[in-house]
Amino acid sequence: MVNFKINGRSVTAERGDTIINVARREDIYIPTMCYIEKTSPCASCRLCSVEVEGHDGFVLSCNTPPTEGIHVITDSESLKTERTNIMRMYDVNHPLECGVCDKSGECDLQNKTLEFNVGQQYFSAKDQPRKIENWGLINYDPSLCILCEKCTHVCNEVIGDDALDLLFGGYNSKVIPKNAETLDCTFCGECIAVCPVGALVSSDFQYSANAWELSKIPATCAHCSAGCALEYEVKHAGIDSPGEESIYRVSNNFEYATLCGAGRFGFDFANRASKDEAAFDAALSALQNAEAIRFSSVISNEETMILNGLKAKLGLKLFNEDARHMQTFMNAYANVSGKRHYSATLETLKASDGIIIIGSRIATDNPGVRYATTTAARHNGAKVVYMHPLEDALLQNTVTQFIKYEVGTEEGVLALLAQTLLVGKELTQREQAFFDGLDEGYLNAETNVGDDELALLVKQFMRSKSKTLVVGSDLLAHARAENIAHLVAMIEKYSDFTVLVVPTEVNTLGVSLIADLDIDVASKNVVGYNAKGSFVISALGDGNLNVPALNQQEGTVVSIDKRLLPTNVALSFDGYTLNDLANALGVYAKNTIDYTAALPVESGFQAVEFDSLENFYSAKGADIRGYTLNEVTAKRGGHPEDVDELPEFNGAVIYHVNPVLQFNAFTAKTVQLEKDNNLYGSASFAAAARLGDGDAVAFEYAGETVRRIFKLDDTLKGTVALHPTFDLGLNVTSGYRFEHVNFYERE
């Protein structure tokens, strides 16, 4: 703690605070152009200069920590002159194109130019032609760029792509793709969000609407369990579609939160429909005669409650394998840890300095976890150990150690990991007996994880103070998931690791905490709710009855942070909803959101009405969205069982994983997101499967034939190929993600 004064007021700084942090906390205004809270200071604009009494010259408040007893002055005549001159410099040759610029109305340069009253150009410099770049989803206009470096900082420090660089050349300086001709990145679009001017813009949005015309609808991203806060920006759909609205873009509070490209560019998945009486009646009779309802986890908590109600009323079964795996896993976990929920959140992950990620291709499975990991690595110097059968090029800037294990041997890997991390801990007799009974030689050999690798892992974490174990969906759907959960829970219980389990879909966690699920058996008479069935109720527009998509309804989801997050209606829906069906079947509620306050308290939910849920970040960065689920204690009594014989996956194996920015049939519907559905494999996979680059292949997946083009990818190794499932509509399974396949019918 440091005590000092700003403008005569006594203030205190915490460890790691800079002058500007303290000033902002105290509501003292210091102008900035390049400052962004979530990265290290760019220190390029010098607008944040302040004076310190008794010292000559100015100091930059963004990167100077205060020292005891100093007196900081944030406003004086000389500071004003200095800042005005900076703004005059910024305005030299800045194109007078606010009239068309996308940023107009929310432009920092515009605002500060007015604030410092720069009404004319005082200096001159010979301008040069500057070429507008088109980088796919992003356009860059160097003549608008003020070289604040926010984009490069955020891309490197938060995203981890490190795809942008600043080309220094005096007046010719500009932003360029790093070591590449054109931008080849994961297209999160965060650089667009942070750009204070109109230099980086979405190419789809550019010149289609002005900032002030768009209504912002606060919502929660519907694509993955990170549950990022976003705002759908909505306007009339154009002169030729009177009465209709559409989403023009998605924005976020970039100062404190980060979106991936799926959230930012994949917003057009709304379902348009009108009330179809015949389909509604057909749906009613289908439900009345059905044995079960199968549903996906792309669903709100309230809809899940309705399904529960229908189950009770109609005596149906409820199938959702994805959420059931989560349930099984977390039940087994709770049996050992004594707590219903895992312990970590994305915030604690960001603050970690030691991270193990296991059982997930995390960069594409959950970009939110990836960004938190990148932030931890860049800002806390976190050591990141990535354990998976496949290396991931997207993590290469972040991961400090990659431990490859054999496909299917996750149970053995966890046993070895637990053993390594729990050395010297006081365990129960039974637990001790478990470790004593481990056949390490066998495990090392079968998992292919060596003692030296584990020793290195321990060494890496020697100095780490706050550590997180991130557990992915490969483990949730594993045949031995329960025992794996026991081991994970033991690590949580005895070591100083906190645990973050990555739910597979946007609301897998919510569904697992609410729904009364049954084991999915191949019944004939199943109504699918955004899932496969003999009668399909779908928000994708291809089913027997249309229902609204997640951006067309009010409701809540539970994110990876075990937080209940509200989402809102961005676009209206004119057809029937699940609640209408339920009402007709005697499960009555006036509105779907009437169920929000009735969510099960025993799972940690609170009896809070939907309308009293907030959904924003405060000006100082406090996350005021929904509420965090209460911690619930569970009965202990679980203990690890002996490790089963580890399965072997020989020959050609495919891993069901989606490419960057794709998650499911909803993201597949959107216009801007790339839809690469090729099967990618290494040369050794090609040899094992006897395939050549560009071969058309077919194989069985989820009971149907899938056709793909095989592409050689030299960044991959081993005999596992990457198989996307996002474009298979409702025909996706939630089983173990590695699968042995037989390719047939090669053309």
Partner 1 sequence: MMSLKEFENRNVSEGAYYKVDIPDYPETGWEKAKQVFSRAIKGELFVGLYIVMREMIKFDIHTVQYPKEKLPIGPRYRAVHEMQRLWESGTERCIGCGLCEKICISDCIRMDTKIDEQSRKQVTEYTINLGRCIFCGYCAEVCPELAIVHGGRYENTSEQRAHYIGYEDMLTPFDMAVKGQVAEYPGFGAITPHEDERVKSTPLAY
Chain residues binding partner 1 by CB under 8 A are 98-100, 104, 120-124, 126, 132, 134, 139, 141, 203, 206-210, 212-213, 236, 238-240
Other C-beta atoms lying within 10 Å of the C-beta of residue 68 = 9
120 binds, among ligand SF4, partner 1, none (CB under 5 to 8 A by kind): partner 1
**What three-state secondary structure class fits 589?**
coil
**What three-state secondary structure class fits 747?**
coil
According to the binding rule CB under 6 A, does residue 101 interact with ligand SF4? yes
| Least spacing, CB of residue 272 vs partner 1, in Å | 20
Helix (H) or strand (E) holding 42: none
Q: The tokens of 147 are what?
A: 């070289």
Structural contact between residues 550 and 556, judged by C-beta atoms closer than 8 angstroms: no
For 512, list phi and psi in degrees, rounded to 5.
Answer: -65, -25
Q: The tokens of 67 are what?
A: 């020292």
Could you give the C-alpha distances from 565 to 435, 502, 618, in angstroms and in order? 40, 16, 16
| Least spacing, CB of residue 204 vs ligand SF4, in Å | 13
197 binds, among partner 1, ligand SF4, none (CB under 5 to 8 A by kind): ligand SF4
Structural contact between residues 688 and 651, judged by C-beta atoms closer than 8 angstroms: yes
**What three-state secondary structure class fits 163?**
coil
155 binds, among ligand SF4, partner 1, none (CB under 5 to 8 A by kind): ligand SF4
**Which CB, 263 or 510, lies closer to ligand SF4?**
263
Q: Given candidates 11, 260, 305, 363, which one binds ligand SF4 under the rule CB under 6 A?
A: 260
**Which CB, 101 or 652, lies closer to ligand SF4?**
101
Q: Given candidates 51, 157, 161, 623, which one binds ligand SF4 under the rule CB under 6 A?
A: 161
Could you give the C-alpha distances from 628 to 350, 503, 608, in angstroms and in order? 18, 16, 12
According to the binding rule CB under 6 A, does residue 292 interact with ligand SF4? no
Q: Given candidates 19, 145, 234, 673, which one binds ligand SF4 under the rule CB under 6 A?
A: 145
**Which CB, 238 or 450, lies closer to partner 1?**
238
Going by C-alpha positions, the residue among 321, 323, 633, 642 that lies closest to residue 486 is 642
| Least spacing, CB of residue 347 vs ligand SF4, in Å | 14
Integer Cα distance of 387 and 405 in angstroms = 7
Integer Cα distance of 199 and 204 in angstroms = 14
**Which CB, 143 or 568, lies closer to partner 1?**
143
Structural contact between residues 362 and 333, judged by C-beta atoms closer than 8 angstroms: no
Going by C-alpha positions, the residue among 41, 534, 516, 19 that lies closest to residue 312 is 516
Could you give the C-alpha distances from 631 to 70, 563, 625, 628, in angstroms and in order? 44, 11, 18, 9
| Least spacing, CB of residue 103 vs partner 1, in Å | 13
Ranges within 104-123 binding ligand SF4 (CB under 6 A): 104, 107, 109-110
224 binds, among ligand SF4, partner 1, none (CB under 5 to 8 A by kind): ligand SF4
According to the binding rule CB under 6 A, does residue 41 interact with ligand SF4? no
| Least spacing, CB of residue 216 vs partner 1, in Å | 17
* Residue number with the smallest Cβ distance to ligand SF4: 263
Ranges within 200-239 binding ligand SF4 (CB under 6 A): 200, 221, 223-224, 226-228
**Which CB, 226 or 536, lies closer to ligand SF4?**
226
SS3 annotation, 683-711: HHHHHHHCCCCCCEEEEEECCEEEEEEEE
Structural contact between residues 410 and 738, judged by C-beta atoms closer than 8 angstroms: no
| Least spacing, CB of residue 604 vs ligand SF4, in Å | 21
**Which CB, 164 or 209, lies closer to ligand SF4?**
164
164 binds, among ligand SF4, partner 1, none (CB under 5 to 8 A by kind): ligand SF4
200 binds, among ligand SF4, partner 1, none (CB under 5 to 8 A by kind): ligand SF4
| Least spacing, CB of residue 90 vs partner 1, in Å | 15
> Own/partner pairs for 392-398, CB < 8 Å, 24+ apart?
392/361, 392/362, 392/363, 393/715, 394/160, 394/161, 394/186, 394/363, 394/364, 394/370, 394/660, 395/160, 395/362, 395/363, 395/370, 397/156, 397/160, 397/161, 397/162, 398/160, 398/370, 398/373, 398/374
**Which CB, 653 or 668, lies closer to ligand SF4?**
668
Ranges within 333-392 binding ligand SF4 (CB under 6 A): 367-368
Estimate the crossing angle of helix 410-421 against helix 481-494, to 10 degrees.
10
| Least spacing, CB of residue 175 vs partner 1, in Å | 17
191 binds, among ligand SF4, partner 1, none (CB under 5 to 8 A by kind): ligand SF4
According to the binding rule CB under 6 A, does residue 394 interact with ligand SF4? no
Structural contact between residues 357 and 373, judged by C-beta atoms closer than 8 angstroms: yes
Interface ranges with ligand SF4 (CB under 6 A): 94-95, 97-98, 101, 103-104, 107, 109-110, 144-151, 154-155, 159, 161, 163-164, 175, 183, 185-191, 194-200, 221, 223-224, 226-228, 259-260, 262-263, 367-368
